[in-house]
């Protein structure tokens, strides 16, 4: 059959992560340019790096803009001054809350030039003058950008080392929720990872309009994310050196489509339900585009897929009208079978040995586990409370489920005493998220909002 022969061909040309739309960058959004450069000067420091590679750079949470003392410093966006005082190594510093989770910090300011705490400022309003206060090496502005409680790396994409920047210039990066420097609503793509505690970083990609997300590990240091936005399939990937990119593919969907991506022997495969049909989507590298091939299986609802070792096709669970169905292929073609188990809401399948996936669902305030027993499929409660959505995965040898409840992320794992909660991550999330294992002790989580 054609899909099988395609897969054989793909196996020869498989690479880990390939940008099929090289050169295409994230489309412009109203949130772009929402902040302006607060001071003129030369960039001598970045987030987690001093440009001269001086020690201690890893602890540096902002960008340094050097110039002569007394130069005006402007508010990068509209907001309210929530701190204006002397603060240890930062010296005189001002913090502005812009709303929508955004804050900026301005430090080492010249004494006697600070705008008062509690003042509402407009974008471009002067708030201080450049100085040399606090633990400092020379006159400069130390400028931090915070989002949802974490200092942000993506500003490095504009504030590159030794660049001369000009006060008032719009910063051509995405600031979800800020439009023209004023707070609006948005759906930012965030990367959640374990460092010293759980942390989250903004990818710089505003994915307002997204309807489904599936993260996989294709090698490298960061996950690959497949997502549906505005009924188009996107491939999102990044690295610590090059940042994140969102590339639209040639694949489109109808409203209500669902996707689940897998790493199929080094090639991205995306199983999808769309228009009451199950599709297999994969890259055709020679043609430079993605192929959306019908399996001929009629099903709608949310899909979640796994890779069974030795199989030539992904295996999926599809929630058809609330009934879990298994979709798989063999040399005779694609098949669908009803498990006889019902489940509502978002589902997540994971393989934990054997040839059949387990399925997790959140219903009636509990996290449920569905699996194939010796007498057929069974569904049991894990005993763990939740009211959001699950994302199940293997973290090394440990079976885990990341689950949202009351808009917060929680971690559950299967240990020697059965299912247990590892507690909350202290990070809010929508139900559009996907946990992925890259190695080490903890998963990462790619989430929207």
Nearest-5° angle of CA 231, CA 236, CA 242?
150
Instruction: Report which secondary-structure segment, H or E, holds 428.
Output: strand 418-428
Considering beta carbons, is residue 31 or 64 the nearer one to Zn ion?
Answer: 64
Q: Contacts with Zn ion in 138-167 (CB under 5 A)?
A: 142
CB of 158 to Zn ion, least distance (A): 16
- Write down the least CB distance from residue 60 to Zn ion, Å: 6
The minimum distance between CB 45 and Zn ion, in angstroms, equals 5
Shortest Cβ 75–Zn ion spacing (Å): 18
Close Cβ partners of 192 (under 8 Å, ≥ 6 residues apart) = 198, 199, 200, 409, 425, 427, 429, 444, 445, 446, 447
Least Å distance, CB 54 to Zn ion, is: 11
93 binding Zn ion? (CB under 5 A): no
Q: Which stretch binds Zn ion (CB under 5 A): 27-35, 40-48, 379-387, 441-449?
A: 40-48
Residue of this chain nearest to Zn ion (CB atom):
142
- Give the start-end residues of each E strand in 139-223: 140-147, 150-151, 164-165, 178-179, 182-183, 188-195, 197-206, 210-216
Q: Which two tokens stand for residue 435?
A: 């946990």
In angstroms, give the least distance from the CB of 117 to Zn ion. 22
Q: Which of 36, 38, 41, 64 binds Zn ion (CB under 5 A)?
A: 64
Question: In terms of CB distance, is 93 or 142 closer to Zn ion?
Answer: 142
Show the binding pattern over residues 191-210: x = contacts Zn ion (CB under 5 A), - = does not: --------------------
Nearer CB in complex with Zn ion: 136/381? 136
When the beta carbons of 136 and 182 are compared against Zn ion, the nearer one is: 136
Q: Which is nearer to Zn ion, 134 or 248 (CB)?
A: 134
Type and span of the H or E element at 79: strand 79-86
Nearer to Zn ion by Cβ, of 103 and 142: the residue is 142
Q: Do residues 134 and 87 lie in contact, with contact meaning Cβ atoms separated by under 8 Å?
A: yes
Q: Write out 39-66 in H/E/C secondary structure.
A: CCEEEEEECCEECCCCCCHHHCCCEEEE
C-beta closer to Zn ion: residue 1 or 54: 54
What's the distance, Cα to Cα, between the start and end of the chain in Å?
A: 41
* 379/444 Cα distance (integer angstroms): 27
Decide: 267 and 283 in contact? Cβ < 8 Å: yes
Q: Which stretch binds Zn ion (CB under 5 A): 42-50, 151-159, 262-270, 298-306?
A: 42-50
Site residues (vs Zn ion, CB under 5 A) = 45, 64, 142
């Amino acid at each position: 059959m054609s899909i099988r022969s395609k897969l054989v061909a793909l196996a020869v040309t498989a690479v880990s992560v390939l940008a099929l739309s090289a050169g295409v960058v994230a489309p412009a959004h109203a949130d772009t340019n929402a902040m302006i450069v607060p001071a003129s000067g030369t960039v001598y420091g970045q987030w987690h790096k001093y440009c001269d590679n001086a020690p201690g750079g890893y602890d540096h949470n902002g960008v340094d803009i050097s110039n002569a003392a007394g130069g005006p410093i402007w508010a990068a966006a509209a907001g309210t001054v929530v701190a204006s005082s002397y603060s240890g190594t930062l010296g005189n510093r001002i913090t502005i809350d812009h709303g929508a989770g955004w804050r900026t910090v301005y430090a080492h300011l010249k004494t006697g030039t600070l705008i008062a705490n509690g003042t509402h400022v407009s974008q471009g309003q002067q708030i201080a003058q450049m100085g040399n206060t606090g633990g400092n090496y020379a006159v400069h502005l130390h400028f931090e950008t915070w989002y949802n409680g974490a200092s942000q790396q993506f500003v490095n994409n504009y504030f590159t080392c030794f660049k001369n920047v000009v006060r008032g210039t719009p910063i051509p990066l995405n600031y979800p929720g800020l439009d023209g420097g004023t707070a609006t609503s948005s759906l930012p793509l965030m990367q959640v990872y374990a460092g010293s505690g759980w942390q989250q970083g903004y990818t710089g990609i505003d994915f307002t309009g997204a309807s489904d997300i599936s993260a996989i590990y294709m090698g490298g240091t960061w996950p690959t994310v497949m997502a549906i936005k505005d009924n188009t399939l996107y491939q999102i990937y990044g690295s610590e050196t090059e940042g994140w990119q969102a590339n639209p593919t040639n694949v489109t969907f109808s409203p209500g489509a669902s996707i689940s991506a897998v790493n199929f022997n080094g090639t991205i495969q995306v199983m999808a339900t769309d228009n009451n049909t199950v599709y297999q989507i994969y890259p055709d590298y020679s043609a430079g585009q993605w192929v959306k091939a019908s399996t001929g299986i009629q099903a709608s609802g949310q899909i979640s897929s796994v890779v069974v070792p030795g199989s030539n096709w992904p295996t999926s669970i599809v929630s058809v009208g609330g009934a879990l169905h298994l979709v798989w292929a063999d040399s005779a073609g694609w098949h669908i079978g009803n498990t006889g188990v019902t489940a509502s809401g978002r589902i997540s399948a994971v393989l934990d040995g054997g040839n059949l996936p387990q399925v997790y669902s959140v219903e009636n305030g509990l996290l449920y586990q569905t699996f194939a027993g010796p007498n057929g499929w069974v569904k049991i409660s894990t005993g763990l409370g939740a009211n959001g959505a699950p994302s199940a995965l293997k973290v090394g040898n440990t079976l885990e489920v990341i689950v949202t409840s009351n808009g917060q992320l929680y971690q559950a794992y299967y240990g020697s005493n059965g299912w247990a909660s590892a507690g909350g991550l202290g990070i809010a999330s929508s139900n559009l998220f996907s946990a992925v294992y890259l190695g080490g002790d903890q998963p990462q989580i790619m989430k929207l909002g």
